[in-house]
Amino acid sequence: MPRPLQFHAFTMNCVSFINHGLWRHPEGRHVDYTDLGGWVDLARLVERAGFDTLFFADTVGVYEGYQGGRETTVREAVQIPNGDPSVLIPALAHATEDLGFAFTSSVQQAHPFEFARRVSTLDHLTGGRVAWNIVTSFQPSAARNFNSDTAIALQDRYAWAEEYMEVVYKLWEGSWEDGAVLRDAERGIYTDPARVHSIDHRGERYKVAGPHLAEPSPQRTPVLFQAGSSEAGRTFAGRHAEGTFIIVPDPSSAEVAVSKVRERAVAAGRAAGDVTFVQGLSLVVGSTEEEAHRLNAEFEEYLSDDAFLAHVSGNVGKDFSVIDPATPLTEVIKNDVNMEGVFRAMIEGAPPGARTWGDMAKLLVSTRVVGTPDQIADQLERWAAAGVGGFNVTVVITPGTFEDFAEHLTPVLRARGLMRDRYAPGTLREKLSGAGARLPERHPAARFRKL
Ligand SMILES: Cc1cc2nc3c(=O)[nH]c(=O)nc-3n(C[C@H](O)[C@H](O)[C@H](O)COP(=O)(O)O)c2cc1C
């Protein structure tokens, strides 16, 4: 039997996350994203379905560049409007018992002292069920929101992230010793002051004296996820991440990503198995093959080429409107001898099944698997054989995607041993890894434990 895999319900506090256009589907509740009751219902649903976490992506900039601007992005609600995901978590934790809550936060968006305190507060309030998806924000529009005139260069983003990690590790792991909190009402000592330390961090970007203001939370450092795909991003994942996200078109591409990050984990003094690889997939399941394909065809009618192209333009930093979405990829290559290198490279590596420019944009943003529960489980096993240890099940229709998952997939995945039968006790880290509540000694955070 394969080891149980991780399953994350992948969504965002916004109208249109990945499967753009589907917010118009009559069965979807996408437009109700400002309603807390809807989120509470969703958290309960995904817990019933056995997911490990409700996973929130986030962005702090706007996708721009398509047709030279951001009009399509705004018109089609491509991740704008959106709301802060971390604010939802206490209410959702209160309505659930075991579900984890992962949220994305960019090193550019919050000062590490403020961020560390917010995360410790969340870790306390959730009983240790919080994970942080560390991103560095590649979008120039995000950088312009946080004191910069231009995009931050790749190497600088990851150098920034390294310092950011050092500050938060010092606060979470080093500032308060175990046993500092005595809660001794008789002697009037809540905390032993000798066991609470300043961190006195003085780096290139931050000066943080400390001490951390929150007392140690169940996990101290939250479970760490990361999603960088450049070489610098992979090196960062190898050093810090307990889970890393990939969106690759097929299992053989996954194998490449997995081996590269594992090498870097080992080079950083960690074990190859310390990092779990989580592939993003949109699943369309039906009780018969015909039903699944009928549903998929119905969804495709709502998908918006324009919105996908606006999303990819923002991701890649090139205007994808210069080519008509209906143009077959073979024609694009034939006609456009002056095609920019980045477009050519993308076409040459286009995901299987992409026939046109519009298809390619869709498939770059989301890999979709369509079929019966058994067919989908077969596919997931193929990914698992390539080293993938979990899936970000990307919302197609909210909440329908997760209702279908609970009804059709949970029983089959459990019967095959691919999904846990029940939640393990303890914090999110204990549930996911079966190890301790805190990061292991070989993780770089551990060296800040004795300040
Ligand atoms: C599956 C996946 C999910 C991602 N989620 C987010 C996100 O929620 N917010 C964000 O700003 N970036 C997100 N990214 C972008 C990455 O953080 C990263 O910036 C991007 O992959 C480019 O890699 P690089 O930073 O190594 O250049 C995601 C990337 C992938 C592959």
* Average pLDDT value for the chain: 94
CA distance 132 to 274: 16
Task: Provide the domain limits for residue 99.
Answer: 6-288+366-448
- Tell me, using a 6 A CB cutoff, whether residue 247 lines ligand 1: yes
Whether 54 is covered by a domain: the verdict is: yes
Confidence grade of residue 361 (pLDDT, cut at 50, 70, 90): confident
Q: Is 208 exposed, middle or buried (0-12, 13-18, 19+ CB in 10 A)?
A: buried
pLDDT at 108: 97
Confidence grade of residue 1 (pLDDT, cut at 50, 70, 90): very low
Mean pLDDT of 36-63: 98
Whether 152 is covered by a domain: the verdict is: yes
Cβ–Cβ under 8 Å, residues 4 and 418: yes
Mean pLDDT of 212-232: 95
Whether 343 is covered by a domain: the verdict is: no
Please tell me the least confidently modeled range out of 114-118, 217-221, 309-313, 340-344.
Answer: 340-344
CATH of the domain at 194: 3.20.20.30
User: 228 CA to middle of ligand 1, Å?
Assistant: 5
Cβ–Cβ under 8 Å, residues 58 and 82: yes
Please tell me the least confidently modeled range out of 64-78, 79-93, 301-315, 345-359.
Answer: 345-359
Atom of ligand 1 nearest to the CA of 142: 11
Please tell me the least confidently modeled range out of 157-161, 292-296, 321-325.
Answer: 321-325
Ligand 1 pocket test: pick from 17, 138, 261, 282 the residue with the most ligand atoms within 8 Å of its Cβ. 138
State yes or no: pLDDT of 334 exceeds 90: no
Whether 429 is covered by a domain: the verdict is: yes
- Tell me, using a 6 A CB cutoff, whether residue 280 lines ligand 1: yes
Whether 73 is covered by a domain: the verdict is: yes
CA distance 95 to 87: 15
State yes or no: pLDDT of 86 exceeds 50: yes
CA distance 357 to 35: 36
Whether 329 is covered by a domain: the verdict is: no
Query: How many other CB atoms sit within 10 Å of the CB of residue 114?
Result: 10
337 Cβ contact partners less than 8 Å away, ≥ 6 residues apart: none
Whether 35 is covered by a domain: the verdict is: yes
Q: Indicate the number of domains in the chain.
A: 1
User: 411 CA to middle of ligand 1, Å?
Assistant: 31
CA distance 283 to 22: 14
State yes or no: pLDDT of 184 exceeds 80: yes
State yes or no: pLDDT of 40 exceeds 50: yes
- Predicted confidence (pLDDT) per residue in 399-418, tens digit: 999 999 999 999 999 999 99
State yes or no: pLDDT of 206 exceeds 70: yes
pLDDT at 387: 96
Confidence grade of residue 249 (pLDDT, cut at 50, 70, 90): confident
State yes or no: pLDDT of 349 exceeds 90: no
Confidence grade of residue 348 (pLDDT, cut at 50, 70, 90): confident
Locus of tokens 């996990």: 219
Confidence grade of residue 248 (pLDDT, cut at 50, 70, 90): confident
Q: Is 150 exposed, middle or buried (0-12, 13-18, 19+ CB in 10 A)?
A: exposed
- Predicted confidence (pLDDT) per residue in 253-309, tens digit: 899 889 999 999 999 999 999 999 999 999 999 999 999 999 999 999 999 999 999
Confidence grade of residue 2 (pLDDT, cut at 50, 70, 90): very low
Cα–Cα nearest to 374, from 402, 411, 403, 406: 411
pLDDT at 336: 63
State yes or no: pLDDT of 91 exceeds 90: yes
68 Cβ contact partners less than 8 Å away, ≥ 6 residues apart: 319
Answer with the residue of higher pLDDT: 347 or 393: 393
Mean pLDDT of 130-142: 95
Confidence grade of residue 450 (pLDDT, cut at 50, 70, 90): confident
Mean pLDDT of 189-213: 98
- Tell me, using a 6 A CB cutoff, whether residue 13 lines ligand 1: no
- Tell me, using a 6 A CB cutoff, whether residue 227 lines ligand 1: yes
Whether 16 is covered by a domain: the verdict is: yes
- Tell me, using a 6 A CB cutoff, whether residue 365 lines ligand 1: no
- Tell me, using a 6 A CB cutoff, whether residue 245 lines ligand 1: yes
Q: How many residues are present in the chain?
A: 451
State yes or no: pLDDT of 338 exceeds 80: no
- Tell me, using a 6 A CB cutoff, whether residue 358 lines ligand 1: no
pLDDT at 196: 98
